[in-house]
Structure 1
Amino acid sequence: MRNYLLACFLFYSWGAAAQNVEFSKDQFGNDKDGLKTALKEIKLGDEWYDMDPPRYEQALPHYLAAQKFNPNNAHINLRIGECYLHSGFKPRALGYLQKAYQLSPDVDPRIHYFLGRGLHLNGKWKDAIAEYKRATPATGTKNTAGFTQDIQRKIRECENGQKLEAKPTRVFIDNAGPGVNSPYADYGPVITADESVILFTSRRDNSTGGQKDPETGGFFEDVYQSTRAGKDTWGPARNLGEPVNTDGHDATVGLAPDGQRLLVYLEDNGGDLHESDLRGAQWRKPQKLGSRINSRSHESSAAYTPNGRSLYFVSDKEGGLGSRDIYRIEMEGRGQASNLGPTINTPYGEEGVFLHPDGKTMYFSSEGHNTMGGYDIFKSVYENGKWSTPENLGWPINTPDDDVFFVISASGRHGYYSSFRDDGLGSKDIYQITFLGPEKQPLLNHEDQLLASRVQPVKEALLAPPVAIASAQVTILKGTVTDEATKEPVEATIDVIDNSLNQTIASFRANAQSGRYLVSLPSGINYGIVVRQEGYLFHSENFDLPAGAAYSEVVKDIALKKLDVGVKVVLNNIFFDFDKASLRKESTGELERLQKLLADTPALRLEISGHTDNVGKAEYNKDLSQRRAKTVVDYLVGKGIDKSRLTFAGYGDSQPVAPNTTKDGRQLNRRTEFKVIGK
Structure 2
Amino acid sequence: MRNKLLSFLPFLRQIILFLLIQNAAAPLFAQSSKRILKEAGEYFESGDYINALPIYLEYLKADPEHPQANFNTGICYLQTIHEHKAVAYLQKAYAKMPAIHPDIHRYLGEAYQYNHQFKEAIDAFKAYKAIAVKTLTKDLSLLPILERRIYECQNGLTYLDKPVKAQIDNIGPIINSKYAEYAPVISADESVLVFTSRRAGSTGGFVAIDDNQYYEDIYISIKSNGKWAEPKNIQEINTDKHDACIALSSDGKQLFIYKDSRGGDIYVSRFDALKNIWSKPQSLGETVNTKYQEPSVSMTADGNTIYFSSNRPGGLGGLDIYMSHKDAKGNWGEAINLGAPINTPYDDDAPFIHPDGQNLYFSSRGHAGMGGYDIYRCSMETNGKWSVPENIGYPINTSGDDTYFVLSADNRHGYYASAKEGGLGEKDIYIISMPKRETLASATGSAIKIEKKIEIKSLPLDQPAIKPTAGATTILSGYITDAFTKESLEAEIVLVNNENSEVISEQVSDSAGFYKTVMLSGKNYGFSVQKEGYLFHSENYDIPASEGFQEITLNVELKKVSVGSRIILRNIFFDFDKATLKKESTAELEKLLSIMNEVPTLKIEVSGHTDNKGSADYNKKLSERRAKAVVDYLVAKGVSPERLGYAGYGMGRPLVSNDDETGRQLNRRTEFEITGK
TM-score bucket of the superposed structures, by smaller chain: 0.7 to 0.9
**For the residues of structure 2 that align with 1:662 and 1:40, how far apart are their CA atoms?**
90
**2:170 corresponding residue in structure 1:** 175
**1:95 corresponding residue in structure 2:** 88
**1:201-244 CA distances to partner (integer Å, 9 max, x unpaired)?**
0010111132225221111111111111442x322112122x31
**2:507 corresponding residue in structure 1:** 509
Equivalent position SS for 2:207: coil
Alignment of 1:173-252 (within 5 A): 173-231=168-226, 233-241=227-235, 243-252=236-245
- Find the partner of 2:68 among 65, 71, 75: 75
**1:273 corresponding residue in structure 2:** 266
- Find the partner of 1:323 among 318, 323, 338: 318
1:426 maps to a residue whose letter is G
Equivalent position SS for 1:317: coil
**2:399 corresponding residue in structure 1:** 400
**TM-score, length basis structure 1:** 0.84
1:591 maps to a residue whose letter is L
- Find the partner of 1:114 among 99, 107, 119: 107
**2:477 corresponding residue in structure 1:** 478
**For the residues of structure 1 that align with 2:408 and 2:251, how far apart are their CA atoms?**
12
The answer to whether structure 1 residue 45 and structure 2 residue 40 are counterparts is yes
Alignment of 1:265-664 (within 5 A): 265-280=258-273, 281-331=276-326, 332-333=330-331, 335-383=333-381, 384-437=383-436, 473-501=472-500, 503-577=501-575, 583-611=581-609, 625-626=623-624, 628-633=626-631, 635-636=633-634, 641-651=639-649, 655=653, 657=655
Contact residue 191 and residue 199 of structure 1 kept, 8 A: yes
**1:158 corresponding residue in structure 2:** 153
Q: 1:28 to 1:153 in 2, by over 3 A?
A: farther
The answer to whether structure 1 residue 149 and structure 2 residue 144 are counterparts is yes
Q: 1:298 to 1:634 in 2, by over 3 A?
A: closer
**For the residues of structure 2 that align with 1:250 and 1:512, how far apart are their CA atoms?**
26
Q: Mean alpha-carbon deviation: is it higher for 650-659 or for 137-146?
A: 137-146
Q: 1:524 to 1:438 in 2, by over 3 A?
A: closer
- Post-superposition offset of 1:521: 1.2
RMSD, aligned α-carbons: 3.0
1:105 maps to a residue whose letter is P
Contact residue 193 and residue 221 of structure 2 kept, 8 A: yes
Equivalent position SS for 1:299: coil
Q: Mean alpha-carbon deviation: is it higher for 81-90 or for 292-301?
A: 292-301
**For the residues of structure 2 that align with 1:28 and 1:518, how far apart are their CA atoms?**
76
- Post-superposition offset of 1:80: 1.6
Q: 1:613 to 1:432 in 2, by over 3 A?
A: farther
Contact residue 277 and residue 283 of structure 1 kept, 8 A: yes
Equivalent position SS for 1:79: helix
**For the residues of structure 2 that align with 1:591 and 1:614, how far apart are their CA atoms?**
26
1:236 maps to a residue whose letter is E
Equivalent position SS for 2:262: helix
1:196 maps to a residue whose letter is S
Equivalent position SS for 1:268: coil
- Find the partner of 1:61 among 51, 54, 63: 54
Contact residue 324 and residue 332 of structure 2 kept, 8 A: no
**For the residues of structure 1 that align with 2:54 and 2:384, how far apart are their CA atoms?**
53
Contact residue 492 and residue 509 of structure 2 kept, 8 A: no
Q: 1:572 to 1:125 in 2, by over 3 A?
A: same
- Find the partner of 1:125 among 108, 118, 128: 118
**For the residues of structure 2 that align with 1:599 and 1:153, how far apart are their CA atoms?**
68
Q: Mean alpha-carbon deviation: is it higher for 478-487 or for 191-200?
A: 478-487
**1:254 corresponding residue in structure 2:** 247
**1:34-75 CA distances to partner (integer Å, 9 max, x unpaired)?**
555544332232222111xx1222221111111111111222
**2:461 corresponding residue in structure 1:** none
**For the residues of structure 2 that align with 1:28 and 1:109, how far apart are their CA atoms?**
37
**1:534-586 CA distances to partner (integer Å, 9 max, x unpaired)?**
44332222111122321111122233333211111111112345566554442
Q: 1:517 to 1:158 in 2, by over 3 A?
A: same
- Post-superposition offset of 1:658: 5.7
User: Unaligned 5+ residue runs, structure 1?
Assistant: 1-26, 441-470
Q: 1:593 to 1:148 in 2, by over 3 A?
A: same
The answer to whether structure 1 residue 134 and structure 2 residue 134 are counterparts is no
**For the residues of structure 2 that align with 1:342 and 1:302, how far apart are their CA atoms?**
19
**For the residues of structure 1 that align with 2:136 and 2:156, how far apart are their CA atoms?**
29
- Post-superposition offset of 1:354: 1.6
**For the residues of structure 1 that align with 2:136 and 2:52, how far apart are their CA atoms?**
25
**For the residues of structure 2 that align with 1:28 and 1:239, how far apart are their CA atoms?**
58
Q: 1:660 to 1:121 in 2, by over 3 A?
A: farther
Contact residue 188 and residue 408 of structure 2 kept, 8 A: yes
Contact residue 326 and residue 340 of structure 1 kept, 8 A: yes
Contact residue 168 and residue 433 of structure 2 kept, 8 A: yes
**For the residues of structure 1 that align with 2:313 and 2:150, how far apart are their CA atoms?**
30
Contact residue 125 and residue 159 of structure 1 kept, 8 A: yes
Matched positions, count: 619
2:142 maps to a residue whose letter is F
- Find the partner of 1:85 among 63, 78, 88: 78
Equivalent position SS for 1:150: helix
2:121 maps to a residue whose letter is A
**1:449 corresponding residue in structure 2:** none
- Post-superposition offset of 1:194: 1.1
**For the residues of structure 2 that align with 1:334 and 1:415, how far apart are their CA atoms?**
28
1:93 maps to a residue whose letter is A
Contact residue 493 and residue 509 of structure 2 kept, 8 A: no
**1:352-394 CA distances to partner (integer Å, 9 max, x unpaired)?**
1222112232211111111211001111223433222212111
- Post-superposition offset of 1:252: 0.7
Q: 1:639 to 1:271 in 2, by over 3 A?
A: closer
1:528 maps to a residue whose letter is G
- Post-superposition offset of 1:293: 2.2
Q: 1:48 to 1:325 in 2, by over 3 A?
A: same
- Post-superposition offset of 1:496: 2.4
1:235 maps to a residue whose letter is A
Q: 1:108 to 1:633 in 2, by over 3 A?
A: same
Contact residue 222 and residue 249 of structure 1 kept, 8 A: yes
- Post-superposition offset of 1:429: 0.2
Contact residue 409 and residue 415 of structure 1 kept, 8 A: yes
**For the residues of structure 2 that align with 1:236 and 1:633, how far apart are their CA atoms?**
54
**For the residues of structure 2 that align with 1:255 and 1:601, how far apart are their CA atoms?**
39
**For the residues of structure 2 that align with 1:517 and 1:487, how far apart are their CA atoms?**
16
**For the residues of structure 1 that align with 2:471 and 2:418, how far apart are their CA atoms?**
25
Equivalent position SS for 1:405: coil
**For the residues of structure 1 that align with 2:316 and 2:228, how far apart are their CA atoms?**
40
User: Unaligned 5+ residue runs, structure 2?
Assistant: 1-21, 440-469
Contact residue 179 and residue 226 of structure 1 kept, 8 A: no
**For the residues of structure 1 that align with 2:187 and 2:481, how far apart are their CA atoms?**
22
Contact residue 175 and residue 423 of structure 1 kept, 8 A: no
